[in-house]
Structure 1
Amino acid sequence: MMPSYFFAHGAPSLVLEKHAYTDLLNNFANSIPKPKAIVLFSAHWEESVQTVSAVDEYSTIYDFGGFQDELYQMTYPAPGNRPLSEEIRSLFAKHGISSKLDEKRGLDHGAWAVLKLLYPDADIPVVALSVNRFLSNEQQYAIGKALSELKEKDVLIIGSGGTVHNLRSVNWRANGVDEWAGAFDNWLQQKLEAWDTASLFNYRELAPHAAMAVPTNEHFIPLLIAMGAGDAHKQAKLLHRSYQYGNLSLSCWQFD
């Protein structure tokens, strides 16, 4: 069965960078069989109703400003997969989750910056999905769980966001890691590896420095969705964790 994954997408410039985390992303395709399709939840697509993309070929959204000119020339023209989009809607309906199709939206940088590093040829069909910050953490997990059977069909489920993502607190000149960011991620690692959903669903009350690490939850949601997709076996493995600018976390989690 194909694992599901959570990838931090960091800053938009990630796709131009060279370090241990981008090395992991560049080599990722060698670690698993080539998926038949990719289902990706991005923190940068928010909708009040769960939305499923259904496009023939994706345009590229440049949802950022002030970065290198090279970024605005990049494209990721991955094909869509309308039958898979319809299957996803059927799975959501089966589990009582309302959804709708979107036939126009391209890939935002939370999607294409990660995918360009994972599969630069853009030759694997992609179905992009939205997140909803107003659902409970239990509901976020259930969204991933509803799609878990796709893993048996060689579909790769990805959540793209960030566990510590507070842009007001980043220090562009920092060399080390802020204590509060490390403390939050250490707590998170313990609970994920123990598959302690009771604590994870209440991370805002239980985790140290949760308000600093997760000031708004849209970047945290994809982690819970990717975890939910691994509910059958309940095995979490941290593949990488590092930081940029003092506290912007770059992490990769695998859920078997």
Structure 2
Amino acid sequence: MIPSFFIAHGAPSLAIKKNGYTRFLEEHFAGLPRPRAVVLFTAHWEASMQMISGVDQYGMIYDFRGFSPELYEMVYPAKGDVELAEEIADLYAKNGISCQIDDKRGIDHGAWVVLHLIYPAADIPVVAMSVNPTLSPEEQYEIGKILAPLKERDVLIMGSGGTVHNLSTLDWHKEEEAEQASADWANQFDKWLEIQLNNWNLDQLFRYEEKSSGGLVSVPTNEHFIPLFIAMGAGDQNRKARLLYRSYQYGTLSLSCWQFD
């Protein structure tokens, strides 16, 4: 059965950077079996109802400002999978989750930055998915768990976001990748998170705001954290978590990749 993944998408500039993290993503996914499709929950598509992309061909969304002009010229010509989108909608309907298929929205940088690095040929169909910040961690986990049967048919379920994502704390002059964050609270939170994920401690994880060290400042808003719970839920059957990579950009912006077998 194909694993699910949580991948930090970092800053948009990651799409044109060559560093340890980008090399890891390129090499790791090149060595994995090729999925027949990717279902990707992106932190940059927020909606009060679960939205499912049902387009044939994606347009580009450049949902950022102030970066290199090169980024605004990038094109990731991802194709959709309408049949898979309808299957996902049916799975959610059978499990009492309201959802809707969107046949117009393009692909945002939370999705195309990651996809550009792991599948540069853009030859694998993609179904982009929204996130709902108002749901509880338990509900986020269930959203991923419901899709787990798709993994048996070589569908890759992925969450794209970031475990430490507080833009107000970033040092924009410190772009180079580092193994440790520049702030103790960021390191403490990611280490706490690693312990809980390795032990699949849902009670602690679902109450991360009160149980963790550094959680409130590391996760000031939850839209980038939500995809972690979703990807984890898709791995509920075996409950095995593996940290494949972790570093930091701009001092405290986490670049991490988790695999859920």
Shorter-chain TM range is: over 0.9
Q: Distance in 1 between matches of 2:236 and 2:121?
A: 31
Structure 2 residues not aligned, in runs of 5+: none
- Which position in structure 2 is the counterpart of 1:210? 215
Query: What SS is found at the alignment partner of 2:167?
Result: coil
Q: For 1:143-197, what per-residue CA distance to the aligned partner results, in whole angstroms no more than 9, with x for missing partners? A: 0000001000000011000000000001123475211100000000000000001
Name the amino acid aligned to 1:65: R
Equivalences for residues 1-256 of structure 1 within 5 A:
1-174=1-174, 177-256=182-261
CA shift for structure 1 position 26: 1.1
Name the amino acid aligned to 1:209: G
Query: What SS is found at the alignment partner of 1:139?
Result: helix
CA shift for structure 1 position 18: 1.1
Q: For 1:55-86, what per-residue CA distance to the aligned partner results, in whole angstroms no more than 9, with x for missing partners? A: 01000100001100100010111111111001
CA-atom RMSD, angstroms? 0.9
Q: Distance in 2 between matches of 1:74 and 1:121?
A: 13
Q: Distance in 2 between matches of 1:75 and 1:240?
A: 27
Q: Distance in 2 between matches of 1:230 and 1:177?
A: 32
Q: Distance in 1 between matches of 2:243 and 2:93?
A: 32
Query: What SS is found at the alignment partner of 1:71?
Result: helix
Q: TM-score, normalised by structure 1?
A: 0.98
Q: TM-score, normalised by structure 2?
A: 0.96
Query: What SS is found at the alignment partner of 1:200?
Result: helix
Q: Percent identity?
A: 59
Q: Distance in 2 between matches of 1:125 and 1:45?
A: 18
**Which stretch of structure 1 is more off in the superposition, 218-227 or 27-36?**
27-36
Q: Distance in 1 between matches of 2:107 and 2:222?
A: 20
Counting matched residue pairs gives: 256
Q: For 1:89-138, what per-residue CA distance to the aligned partner results, in whole angstroms no more than 9, with x for missing partners? A: 11111221110010000100000000000001111000000000000000
Query: What SS is found at the alignment partner of 2:238?
Result: coil
Query: What SS is found at the alignment partner of 2:51?
Result: strand
Structure 1 residues not aligned, in runs of 5+: none
Contact 2:166 2:253 (C-alpha < 8 Å) held by counterparts:
yes
Query: What SS is found at the alignment partner of 1:38?
Result: strand
Query: What SS is found at the alignment partner of 1:141?
Result: helix
Q: Distance in 2 between matches of 1:229 and 1:24?
A: 23
Q: Distance in 1 between matches of 2:197 and 2:182?
A: 21
Q: Distance in 1 between matches of 2:226 and 2:29?
A: 24
Q: Distance in 2 between matches of 1:11 and 1:162?
A: 10
Name the amino acid aligned to 1:224: F
Query: What SS is found at the alignment partner of 2:168?
Result: coil
Query: What SS is found at the alignment partner of 1:23?
Result: helix
